[in-house]
Structures are given as structure tokens and as C-alpha cells.
Amino acid sequence: MKLGFIGLGIMGAPMAGHLLAGGHEVFAFSRSGVPAGVVAQGAYACASPAEVAQKADIIFSMVPDTSHVADVLFGDKGIAQGLSAGKTVVDMSSISPIATKQFAAKINAFGCDYLDAPVSGGEVGAKAASLTIMVGGSQVTFNRVQPLFALMGKNITLIGDNGSGQTCKVANQIIVALNIEAVGEALLFAAKAGADPAKVRQALMGGLATSRILELHGERMIKRTFTPGFRIELHQKDLNLALEGAKAMGISLPNTANTQQLMSSCMAHGGAGWDHSGLVRALEIAANFQISQTPAA
């Protein structure tokens, strides 16, 4: 198939690579330039999102925030300027569910289909083609794109209409953030009490407290490996979406709000680019105690 891929960063580059490995033509654009490795795999570098849309039948986007998606779709030389009836736009970014519904309606007006399909699994999942993909849109469009999703992920679910995929992703980010915070508190408590945090983590991995967060992010906290991964500034953005949605619905998310504030503390201490496991640094700063003395990576 003739596919487009816009946004070739930490996540997008390996995802586009899997589409290429699946035997598809990929027309690519990235704001900072199409990575040489993606071109070496066979991608065609394009000058704009509009050119990608002109040449591809299904166009994927994977960019950081709602404003970036709006620009990619409807900005100067955006996807909308290259669309013709019958094409499909698939946004795999993590953005506002409300804005997503608006974007879908605008794309539908061109006679084109739209899916919101944010992912979970981070850089590891993107490279391993094991991403969880949460999809919003019609069943017919999902069925058409599903074989392509299967090249990039393992757990692929149609949640509901447009916006539902993004709503699911926000829920995912609440769970992940609060689990990272809980693991950070637990390891900080154990280390301050004089226990070896590595052995505490090892013991907890065999009980009810076990989780992928304890496995992966707990290890990063102990080894001080805070290179992303998934950047704190992006996870904070997702929690802001959760709190904005909660305010609009008139509900309270107290622990989400608290964790968002801890991420703000990390940002204030230069941690915008830390992996989100670096959330533990906010707890350590407040406690004036560090879980491990291993130099940060």
C-alpha cells in the first residue's frame, strides 16, 4: 500500500520502519528531517505533510501535542491541502479527545476517513512492534487499517467513535503516572528506612505489588537511568488533558492532580526531558534523600 508517515521521532521512526518491513511504500515527513535510517529502509522523504497526503492513501501522524496535530493537519502545506476523497488519516499522537472529534469532522468533510489511534508502550514497544493501540473511529475504517496496526502493535482495540481512542489513552496515562508515583514513594520509603531498594524491588516483583512499572521504572529509579523513554514534559501534557476533561465533566481526580504537580516540580528542576520514571526525583528533593547513589544517566 501507499502509506504516509509524519513525525519520525523516538516513536515514529521505528513505527514507520515496521510498515516498510511489511512491504509497503512509505512517504515520510518530519519537521527535523526524515532520519537517514528510515530513508535507508526505503522511505521516500517528502517536503511537506501536503506532499505526503498527495502521494499516500493512508496517512499516519505521530507528533507531540494537540497544537502540533492541528498544524500538521490544517496548517500551511498541511495534510488537508493534499487530501482527495477516499483517503484515510490516522493520528497516533496523544492529544485532546475534544479536539480530536473536531479534527475528525473536518477531515470527514473532505470525503476522507479519520481514526485516532494513540499508543502505549514507549520506545521499547515501538521498536519491538508490541505497542498497545487504542482506536477511535468507525468499524469499517478500523477493519481497513487493522493489518497496518498489526505491524506496529500487539494489543489493538477499537474503543468506539472518534475521540474514544484518545479518551482511553488519557485513562492509560493516569494509571501509568500514579503507578510511577507509587513505586517512587515505596522505594524512597524503603531506602530511607535502610533497606536495599534493589532487593526490595526484587521481593515485591513476586507479590501482588508486581507490575510493569515496578519492573521497568523501578529499575530505572534505582540505576538512575532517566534518559527517555517517554519524557516527563509529554506525560505532564497528558495529565493536563485528564484534568481539563475532569473539570469539564465536573469530577475530581485528586491523585492525578497531585502527580501532575510532582511532574511540574521535575520541570522546575530541569527535568522536562527526563524519562517519566524521573518523577521520583521530585519525591527525593522533597525528602532530601536519594534512593540510590548510582550516578544518573
Give the residue numbers marked as catalytic. Answer: 169
Buried b (16+ CB within 10 A) or exposed e, 233-246: bbbbbbbbbbbebb
Q: How many CA atoms lie within 13 A of 231 on its CB side?
A: 14
Dist. CA 211–CA 196, nearest whole Å: 19
